[in-house]
Amino acid sequence: MEAIAQLIAAEMTPAELKNNAAAASAGYAYGLAAIGPGIGIGYLVGKSVEAMARQPEAAGMVRTTMFLGIAFTEALALIGFVVFILLKFA
Amino acid sequence: MIALDFPEINSILVWKDLFPSFNKIALIAVLAAVISITIFLLAVRQDHKEAPKGIRNFAEVIVEFIEDGVVMQTMGKEGLAWTPFLLTMFLFIYLCNVPGIIPFFQMPATARMAVPLFLALMVWVIYNVTGIKHQGVGGYLKSTLFPPGVPKALYILVTPIEFISAIIVRPFSLAVRLFANMMAGHILLVTFALLSEALFQAKDKILIPVGILPFFMLVFLTSFEVLVAFLQAYIFAMLTAVYIGGATHPEH
């Protein structure tokens, strides 16, 4: 593995190497950041639908709280997206 | 194979100055302010004793939406004095978001960090000042940093967390949420528009019908952005109301 890496490194200028590493880690950064919020939002909305089905008269309140919860959970994924942009383009 | 060259990020986000220090982002922000002011100035000119018609209907729908959907849900009756502020925030952010899908504008003003950052800092100052005004400096710090109902020994752990979440994370997440949502939508639209253009103009004739697929995706995403533009403005107003409500009435 190391021999191949050295071979590749010999072919590229440092700037290219840095760009490639940045592009690869940008992909990982966003992919990893999306796992947790994905599970979280799924769980959150699922439970909210359960609550709305059980008590339709409380649907308005549940929906408001659900949007707030989504906003907080989603922020984590969005920070991952910002890291992606910073790694890829900055 | 087709190779798709994604344009430099600056070429899709940074706009030429229309005249010195005034670019498209500033134009959209100014238009958003002017349009929202005009709607309410026109609405208020009508006689309020008659049945509302025309633009006044529209204005009343927005006000009622903020009152019922944002203020009553989070702050209750005593928060109704905050309606004008939340209404301004909601309308300005919505009108800044919506140009992302309007032809020839094609750029949400909130996809530049300056606009959401300034709005979030404004909200930060306002809820801190409100909290200090209602509870005094000591009372406000006590209710935010030392939440009641926690065992004394745990304050070593709880106080730093509360400090970071109330002072640093809140404005940061408020700004980043709005910015990243609009930016992500903008980049998605650019990606699919470029992909369908590249496929429609491909040298290989067999690729041309395939271009229909990203084009459908583009249409779908455009309608999705209508929803996102509204939802982000709503969530921003809602979180502002929650923070202000939390600062005026500490949890017992």
Percent of chain B with pLDDT over 90: 41
- pLDDT for residue B36 is more than 70: yes
Q: Which of B246, B245, B230, B223 is nearest to B90 (CA)?
A: B230
pLDDT at B4: 62
pLDDT > 90? residue B146: no
Tell me how many degrees the CA angle B159-B161-A63 measures, rounded to the nearest 5. 115
Nearest residue to B94 (alpha-carbon basis) of B244, B231, B221, B188: B231
CATH number of the domain that residue A30 is part of: 1.20.20.10
Three-class secondary structure of residue B19 per DSSP? strand
Whether B235 sits inside 8 A of A85 (CB atoms) is no
Interatomic CA distance for residues B182 and B97, integer angstroms: 7
Q: What is the mean pLDDT of residues B152-166?
A: 86
- Which pLDDT belongs to residue B20? 79
pLDDT at B2: 52
Q: Where are the alpha helices (DSSP H) in chain B?
A: 9-13, 24-44, 55-65, 72-74, 83-97, 114-145, 155-163, 170-200, 212-248
* Spacing of C-alpha B107 from chain mean position: 14
Give the residue-averaged pLDDT of B124-128.
94
Cβ neighbours around A77 below 10 Å, total: 19
Q: If you measure CA to CA, which chain A residue comes closest to B181?
A: A78
Q: Domain residues for A47? A: 2-89
Using the predicted structure, report yes or no on whether residue B252 has a pLDDT greater than 60. no
Give the per-residue pLDDT at A9. 62
What does the pLDDT read at residue B3? 55
Q: How many domains does chain A have?
A: 1
Check residue B76 and give its pLDDT.
83
B186 contacts on A by Cβ (under 8 Å): none
Q: Helices B24-44 & B83-97, crossing angle to 10 degrees?
A: 130
Residue B78 pLDDT greater than 90, yes or no: no
Residues comprising chain A, all counted:
90
Taking CA atoms, what residue in B is nearest to A58? B73
Quick: pLDDT tens for B180-217. 999 889 988 988 888 888 888 888 888 888 889 999 99
Nearest CA in chain B to A71: B235
Query: For the residues B97-105, what does the mean pLDDT come to?
Result: 90
Look at residue B130 in the predicted model and tell me its pLDDT: 92
Please report the pLDDT score of residue B96 as a whole number: 94
Q: What is the pLDDT of residue B31?
A: 93
Asked if A78 lies within 8 A of B239 by C-beta distance, the reply is no
Q: Is A74 on the interface with B (CB under 8 A)?
A: yes
Q: Please give the pLDDT value at position B21.
A: 78
Summarize the confidence of residues B87-108 as an average pLDDT.
92
Chain-chain contact of B176 with A74 (C-beta, under 8 angstroms): no
Phi, psi angle pair for B22, to nearest 5°: -145, 105
> Which DSSP symbol is given to A22?
H
**Assigned token pair, A86:** 């910073």
B234 Cβ neighbours under 8 A, 6+ residues apart: A67, B69, B70, B90
C-alpha A9/C-alpha A54 separation (Å) is 61
Q: What is the pLDDT of residue B45?
A: 87
The answer to whether B145 touches B90, Cβ cutoff 8 Å, is: no
Distance (Å, rounded) from C-alpha B23 to C-alpha B16? 6
> Are B177 and A82 a contacting pair at CB < 8 A?
no
Burial (Cβ within 10 Å: 0-12, 13-18, ≥19) of residue B27: middle
Q: Is A81 on the interface with B (CB under 8 A)?
A: yes
For residue B1, the model assigns a pLDDT of: 44
- Best mutation target among A61, A63, A64 (most B Cβ atoms within 10 Å) is A64
Asked if B88 and B62 count as a contact pair (C-beta separation under 8 A), the reply is: no
Instruction: Give me the pLDDT at residue B64, please.
Output: 93
The domain locations on chain B are 9-248
Spans of chain A below 70 pLDDT: 1-5, 7-10, 90
Q: How far is CA B42 from CA B55, B62, B92, B234, B235, in A?
A: 7, 14, 17, 24, 27
Under the banding of pLDDT at 50, 70 and 90, the label for residue B32 is very high
- A59 interface with B at CB cutoff 8 Å: no
Q: Which are the contacts of B20, defined by CB distance < 8 A and separation ≥ 6?
A: none
